[in-house]
Amino acid sequence: MIDSKLITFLNVAALKSYTRAAEMLNLTQPAVSQHIKQLEEHYNVKLINRNGRQLSLTEEGKLLFKYAKELEANSFLLERKLRNKSAVAKRYDIGATLTIGEFVLPGLLGEYKRQHENIDVIMHVYNLEEICKRLENGDFDLGIVEGPFDKSKFNYKKYKEDELVLAVSPLSSLSQKLRVSISDILNDGGLIMREKGSGTRAVFENKLLELGISLSDLKIYMEVGSIGAIKSLVQANLGYTVISIEAVKREAESGTMVIIPIEGVKIMREFNFIYFEHGQIEFTDNFIDFLRNK
């Protein structure tokens, strides 16, 4: 269990407020101040600068924050490992980005559960940025993500390849074309995209940069955090989108959406497993092998 004074410090550093940290931890503000003072006396350094109401970490404070976050993550991991060690029913938490969580994993999780009745795999769906953050914080045992991530931070294995495609309504004028150019997509004025921080958005933006196109030329008509909402908007002919082929297979087969090739451009990406070597490796290896063989 991580020391309570370090938990107080982490909250003050994250919230940049003694008052808000006290509310979050259900402590008095003097108690919060005392925790910080005790840490500073113990390490014989100043951890936090106060300039009026503004708080900032000293260099020593930044160093303590880095290692305290690692301690917190390891504390969460140890707690889960110990509980799973003696438990009949074991629980593991995985993070999945939206495309994977909504369109790839649901049926497979059911099949995994049928084969492993004493294991509960709890899936949490967030965007790529949030998955990486929560994995670092020790909230998840495994992440399954789309889009670029910092490969120096995580162990990773490739899951499968995915393609981003242009999807439009059958009523759209674009649906009459055999293929469209990237400039058609950027200049037609109806592009609907996921929010910044999502894997799909990052892959599309990286492709534009690879093609020598400035992101200032990317004019987005709507930003929407839900894939289901994006598909509904496209089906209603309120715009078009660049999206994973996994997410629009059924609609393309039923004719409620049309996939149009992009001239001279193929936008490919990987789905990857990301994890830490000190994590729940027995589960991680087993679950990765199961998914890869499906």
Please write the tens of the pLDDT for every residue from 112-135.
Answer: 999 998 899 999 999 999 999 999
User: Tokens 């005790």 belong to which residue?
Assistant: 38
Final residue of a domain: which of 72, 96, 123?
A: 72
Is 251 a member of any domain? yes
- pLDDT at 147 exceeding the cut of 90: no
Tens of pLDDT, residue by residue over 165-212, are 999 999 999 999 999 999 999 988 899 999 988 889 999 999 999 999
Q: Which of 72, 97, 117 is the last residue of a domain?
A: 72
Query: Are residue 251 and residue 174 in the same domain, yes or no?
Result: yes
- 185 and 90 assigned to the same domain: no
Q: How many domains does one find in the chain?
A: 3
Do both 91 and 175 map to the same domain?
no
| Whether residue 102 is found in the same domain as residue 226 | no
Say whether both 153 and 277 belong to one domain: yes
**What's the length of the chain?**
294
Instruction: State the CATH number of the domain containing residue 259.
Output: 3.40.190.10
Q: Is residue 154 part of a domain?
A: yes
Decide if 249 is inside a domain: yes
Distance CA 275, CA 151 (A): 11
Residue finishing a domain among 72, 95, 129 = 72
Question: What would the pLDDT profile of 268-294 be if each residue is shown by its tens digit?
Answer: 999 999 999 877 888 999 999 999 998
What sign has the CA pseudo-torsion 183, 186, 191, 192? positive
166 and 255 co-located in one domain = yes
Same domain for 281 and 152, yes or no, is yes
Pairing of strands 222-223, 155-168: unpaired
Residues 38 and 90 in one domain: no
Q: Comparing C-alpha atoms, which of 116, 63, 264, 123 is closest to residue 180?
A: 264
Q: Provide the domain limits for residue 140.
A: 82-160+270-292
Q: Where are the beta strands (DSSP E) in 70-118?
A: 90-96
What is the pTM (predicted TM-score) of this model?
0.72
Note whether residue 225 is domain-resident. Answer: yes
Is residue 77 included in any domain, yes or no? no
Are residue 249 and residue 173 in the same domain, yes or no? yes
| Beta strand 142-146 pairing with 267-275 | antiparallel
If asked whether residues 275 and 149 sit together in one domain, one would say yes
